[in-house]
């Protein structure tokens, strides 16, 4: 079984004994979490029967059906409160992850840890975590092939105030404080995207100023932290 860098990185951050893996797909993450002794049991959920059965076949092949239980259902709906103490959601868009968290709040609020890896709408995921009473206490950025995967690790905030700027919601307050090489490489993507938005779209002056402001903030951040690494896009 091929364990990707992303799966390995997610498992390294797991802090719990009983994991819920939402949208498990091939079930590679639960298998690795058990085999690396990060957890003692997993409930792996899938919305569709086909992927669930493929995951079940992989679990059976590894001889782990006694430790990994596969359940069919949407998000956290197949799981009862307190059945698990940590959860992972990866390989989905941020809007879907935010919706899963809010719809599964009765289960989510009983968890000690969430590890999320959204493919888009990163700011929305961070905002939703704060909205439902979780604080982000660690972040990571993983490059796998040509794709970048943010890891957002959160726990119940227990009344602590989470104060983020729009820029920190978009790129991760802790990631900005402790950036790694993959994060610096990732920042080239929003720079290019914003440049294309300005060139190819008819924007109001206010919107253009907003996009240019984000790009300046990214470039300032990279120039302060890693001037030897920056590859600022030429006009």
User: What does the chain come to in residues?
Assistant: 235
pLDDT at 233 over 50: no
Torsion 55-99-41-69 (CA) sign:
negative
Say if residue 81 is in the same domain as residue 129. Answer: yes
Is residue 235 assigned to a domain?
no
Among 12, 87, 105, smallest CA distance to 43 is for 87
DSSP helix/strand/coil, 156: strand
- Assess whether 36 and 94 both reside in one domain: yes
Which residues are within 8 A (CB) of 82 and not within 5 positions of it... i.e. 6 or more apart? 110
Buried b (16+ CB within 10 A) or exposed e, 74-92: bbbbbbeeeebbbbbbbbb
Q: Whose CA is closest to 76, among 88, 64, 91?
A: 88
Q: What percent of the chain has pLDDT over 70?
A: 96
Mean pLDDT over each residue of the chain, to the nearest integer: 92
pLDDT average, residue stretch 208-214: 89
Identify whether 149 is part of a domain: yes
pLDDT cut 90: percent of the chain above it = 80
Q: Tell whether 89 is covered by a domain.
A: yes
pLDDT at 226: 58
| Predicted local distance difference test score (pLDDT) of residue 231 | 39
pLDDT for the residue numbered 227: 41
144 and 221 inside one domain: no
Mapped onto helix, strand or coil, the DSSP state of residue 110 is coil
Beta bridge partners of residue 147, listed in sequence order: 144
129 and 216 both lie in a single domain: no
Specify if 80 maps to a domain. Answer: yes
pLDDT in tens, 174-191: 999 999 999 999 999 999
Question: pLDDT tens, 3-22?
Answer: 899 999 999 999 999 999 99
Looking at 166-204, list the stretches that DSSP marks H as alpha helix, in order from N- to C-terminal side: 166-171, 173-177, 181-186, 188-200
Q: Which domain holds residue 103?
A: 5-166
Query: Is 0.75 topped by the overall pTM?
Result: yes
Same domain, 150 and 196: no
In a domain, 51, yes or no: yes
Tens-digit pLDDT profile for residues 105-136? 999 999 999 999 999 999 999 999 999 999 99
Mean pLDDT value of segment 159-165: 89
What pLDDT does 203 receive? 84
Distance between CA atoms of residues 233 and 127, nearest Å:
30
Q: Which helix (H) or strand (E) holds 217?
A: helix 205-225
Could you please report the per-residue DSSP string of 4-32? -HHHHHHHHH--SSEEEEET-TT-HHHHH
Encoded tokens for 142: 């993983």
Confidence band for 234, pLDDT divided at 50, 70 and 90: very low
Lowest mean pLDDT among 55-69, 135-149, 213-227: 213-227
Q: Are residue 109 and residue 207 in the same domain, yes or no?
A: no
User: Burial letters for 170-207: b for 16+ Cβ neighbours within 10 Å, e otherwise?
Assistant: bbbbebbeebeebbbebbbeebeebbeeeeeeeeeeee
């Amino acid at each position: 079984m091929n364990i990707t860098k992303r799966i390995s990185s997610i498992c390294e951050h797991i802090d719990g004994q009983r994991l819920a893996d939402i949208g498990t797909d091939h079930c590679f993450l639960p298998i690795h979490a058990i085999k690396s002794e990060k957890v003692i049991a997993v409930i792996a959920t899938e919305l569709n029967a086909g992927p669930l059965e493929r995951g079940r076949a992989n679990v059976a092949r590894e001889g782990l059906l006694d430790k990994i239980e596969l359940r069919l259902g949407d998000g956290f709906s197949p799981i009862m409160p307190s059945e698990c103490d940590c959860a992972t959601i990866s390989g989905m868009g941020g809007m879907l992850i935010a919706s899963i968290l809010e719809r599964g709040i009765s289960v989510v609020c009983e968890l000690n840890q969430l590890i999320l890896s959204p493919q888009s709408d990163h700011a929305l995921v961070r905002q939703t975590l704060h909205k439902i009473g979780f604080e982000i206490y660690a972040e990571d950025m993983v490059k796998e092939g040509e794709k970048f995967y943010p890891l957002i690790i959160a726990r119940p905030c227990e009344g602590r105030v989470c104060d983020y700027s729009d820029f920190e919601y978009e790129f991760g307050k802790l990631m900005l404080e402790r950036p790694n090489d993959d994060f610096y490489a990732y920042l080239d993507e929003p720079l290019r995207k914003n440049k294309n938005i300005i060139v190819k779209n008819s924007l109001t002056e206010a919107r253009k100023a907003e996009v240019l402001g984000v790009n300046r903030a990214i470039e300032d951040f990279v120039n302060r932290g890693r001037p030897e690494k920056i590859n600022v896009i030429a006009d």
